[in-house]
């Protein structure tokens, strides 16, 4: 396979995270549904989640932190991409309002690929870097609370709100770059996870679980093949945070270790497009990402959609403003 788009230098020079203040513990959920803290922790890995806020509000907070860390002047940002599946409005997209509040003066649009959204958006940013842009703000933000029925035992235990942002810059040295990537979608599985207008999510949890494990493995193999690398060459893995058992099952098949894996699910629940940048934010706060590391971002979600991106890291390695 040819290295499509590979060779375009990319580095992340600022990260930001935002979570609403209101914490819902597993224990709190027992007031609405027949469940227990023990069941949720054992079957999902989640202890608590956050609700409240708006998609644009959380995106602005995360975006501001990422800009502050990068030191990039808002007027230097040439494009804003907001990955979200819960925009404030059906129209317009969320990105223009976010751009306005952050003081940007550039094109701004949303990418809707549900929980794969941030990884999708990083590949979109890569395409614009290839066209000559040098500074792009990429945000994953969702308020899944708005489409979640917290009395439903399948979805109510999982979904929550949050946002994560990254300032993505061209890397003239080429040291930082996407080594391989893969995007996928299979509309045959629309019915296993969807939400109609003005309604809450419907999910076939078992089937989503099965498909997620499958596509995570397949997508990783495609990305590694493009990069000409193996599983052992991956230093840090940043999987979508849906259920720790999904990650463990996929890793068993792939041969990845949990030691190399960033997880925040325990505290955040499934924040959809925000989950990968929240994990990156946490990994940087814990000094887990070093220059030259091969960082694999791996998303899957409703659609079904999936995306994997292998980024050789040449961006920030310290991060003090983590959540
Ligand atoms: O971004 C993608 C988003 N979605 C996902 O990633 C979802 C993927 N799927 C999952 O994470 C899991 O399928 C769930 C967490 C949703 C469900 O876990 P599971 O291990 O597949 O449970 P299950 O549906 O097989 O149910 C097992 C048992 C059943 O009881 P019986 O029939 O064995 O007596 C359920 O009634 O657990 C019961 N159960 C619960 N018990 C307490 C199901 N949900 C709950 C609950 N609390 N919340």
Question: Could you report the per-residue pLDDT of 51-78, keeping only the tens digit for each?
Answer: 999 999 999 999 999 999 999 999 999 9
| Contact 301 CB / ligand 1 (< 6 Å) | yes
Question: Could you report the per-residue pLDDT of 117-142, keeping only the tens digit for each?
Answer: 999 999 999 999 999 999 999 999 99
Give the per-residue pLDDT at 109. Answer: 98
Q: What secondary structure, in 3-state letters, does 52-116 show?
A: CCCHHHHHHHHHHHHHHHHCCCHHHCCEEEEECCCCCCCCCCCHHHHHHHHCCCCEEEEECCHHH
* Angstrom distance (rounded) from CA 29 to CA 157: 7
Q: pLDDT averaged over the chain?
A: 96
* 285 and 172 Cβ atoms separated by less than 8 Å: no
Catalytic residues: 115, 240, 270
* Angstrom distance (rounded) from CA 319 to CA 285: 5
pLDDT tops 90 at residue 256: yes
Question: Could you report the per-residue pLDDT of 267-307, keeping only the tens digit for each?
Answer: 999 999 999 999 999 999 999 999 999 999 999 999 999 99
pTM value is 0.97
What SS3 state is found at 214?
Answer: helix
- Ligand 1 atom showing the smallest separation from residue 208 Cα: 8
pLDDT tops 60 at residue 3: no
Residue 206 CA, ligand 1 centroid: distance in Å: 7
| Contact 57 CB / ligand 1 (< 6 Å) | no
Residue whose CA lies nearest to ligand 1 atom number 2? 301
Of 172, 171, 170, 163, which Cα lies nearest the Cα of 66?
Answer: 163
pLDDT tops 80 at residue 94: yes
Give the per-residue pLDDT at 5. Answer: 55
| Contact 154 CB / ligand 1 (< 6 Å) | yes
Angle, helix 37-44 to helix 244-254, in steps of 10 degrees: 20
Residue whose CA lies nearest to ligand 1 atom number 39? 153
Of 322, 237, 241, 236, which Cα lies nearest the Cα of 285?
Answer: 322
**Cα 134 to the center of its chain, rounded Å:** 22
Backbone angles phi, psi at 314, to 5 degrees: -140, 30
Domains of the chain and any CATH numbers: 9-171 (3.40.47.10), 177-312 (3.40.47.10)
pLDDT tops 80 at residue 196: yes
Give the per-residue pLDDT at 242. Answer: 98
Residue whose CA lies nearest to ligand 1 atom number 25? 206
Residue 239 CA, ligand 1 centroid: distance in Å: 20
Give the per-residue pLDDT at 228. Answer: 95
Give the per-residue pLDDT at 23. Answer: 98
Question: Could you report the per-residue pLDDT of 23-43, keeping only the tens digit for each?
Answer: 999 999 999 899 999 999 999
| Contact 202 CB / ligand 1 (< 6 Å) | no
Residue whose CA lies nearest to ligand 1 atom number 42? 35
| Contact 44 CB / ligand 1 (< 6 Å) | yes
pLDDT band at 4 (very low <50, low <70, confident <90, very high): low
Question: Could you report the per-residue pLDDT of 205-232, keeping only the tens digit for each?
Answer: 999 999 999 999 999 999 999 999 999 9
For the record, the structure tokens of 98 come out as 């976010």
| Contact 208 CB / ligand 1 (< 6 Å) | yes
pLDDT tops 60 at residue 2: no
pLDDT tops 70 at residue 10: yes
Cis check: omega of the bond before 304, within 30 degrees of 0: yes
DSSP 218-255: HHHHHHHHHHT--GGG--EEEE--S-HHHHHHHHHHHT
* 317 and 291 Cβ atoms separated by less than 8 Å: yes
Residues 6+ apart with CB under 8 A from 123: 5, 178, 181, 183, 307, 309
pLDDT tops 90 at residue 310: yes
pLDDT tops 90 at residue 322: no
**Long-range contact pairs involving 289-294 (C-beta distance under 8 Å, separation at least 24):** 289/236, 289/313, 289/317, 290/235, 290/317, 291/175, 291/317, 292/175, 293/235, 293/236, 294/179, 294/227, 294/229, 294/233, 294/234, 294/235, 294/236
Question: Could you report the per-residue pLDDT of 99-116, keeping only the tens digit for each?
Answer: 999 999 999 999 999 999
pLDDT band at 320 (very low <50, low <70, confident <90, very high): confident
How many C-beta atoms lie closer than 10 Å to residue 134's C-beta? 16
| Contact 115 CB / ligand 1 (< 6 Å) | yes
Question: Could you report the per-residue pLDDT of 138-188, keeping only the tens digit for each?
Answer: 999 999 999 999 999 999 999 999 999 999 999 999 999 999 999 999 999
* Angstrom distance (rounded) from CA 288 to CA 12: 15
Mutation pick for ligand 1 pocket among 206, 275, 305 (CB with most ligand atoms within 8 Å): 206
Residue whose CA lies nearest to ligand 1 atom number 12? 205
């Amino acid at each position: 396979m040819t290295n499509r788009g590979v060779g375009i230098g990319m580095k992340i020079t600022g990260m930001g995270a935002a979570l609403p203040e209101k914490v819902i513990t597993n224990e709190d959920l027992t007031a609405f549904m027949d469940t227990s803290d023990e069941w949720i922790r054992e079957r999902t890995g989640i202890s608590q989640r956050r609700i409240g806020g708006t998609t644009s509000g959380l995106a602005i907070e995360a975006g501001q932190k990422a800009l502050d860390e990068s030191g990039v002047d808002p007027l230097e940002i040439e494009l804003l991409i907001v990955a979200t599946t819960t925009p404030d409005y059906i129209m317009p997209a969320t990105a223009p309002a976010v751009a306005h509040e952050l003081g940007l003066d550039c094109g701004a649009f949303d990418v809707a690929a549900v929980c794969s959204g941030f990884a999708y958006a990083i590949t979109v940013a890569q395409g614009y870097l290839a066209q000559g842009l040098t500074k792009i703000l990429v945000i994953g933000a969702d308020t899944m609370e708005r489409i979640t029925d917290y009395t439903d035992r399948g979805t109510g235990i999982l979904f929550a709100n949050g946002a994560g942002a990254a300032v993505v810059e061209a890397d003239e040295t080429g040291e930082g770059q996407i080594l391989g990537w893969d995007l996928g979608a299979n509309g045959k599985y629309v019915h296993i996870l969807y939400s109609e207008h003005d309604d809450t999510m419907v999910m076939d949890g078992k089937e989503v679980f099965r498909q997620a494990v499958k596509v995570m493995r397949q997508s990783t193999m495609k990305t590694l093949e493009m990069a000409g690398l193996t599983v052992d060459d991956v230093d840090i893995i940043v999987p979508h945070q849906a259920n720790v058992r999904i990650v463990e099952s996929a890793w068993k098949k792939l041969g990845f270790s949990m030691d190399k894996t960033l997880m925040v699910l325990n505290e955040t629940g499934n924040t959809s497009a925000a989950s990968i940048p929240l994990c990156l934010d946490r990994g940087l706060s814990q000094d887990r990402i070093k220059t030259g590391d091969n960082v694999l971002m791996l998303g899957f979600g409703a659609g079904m959609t999936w995306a994997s991106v292998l980024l050789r890291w040449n961006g920030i390695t310290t991060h003090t403003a983590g959540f």
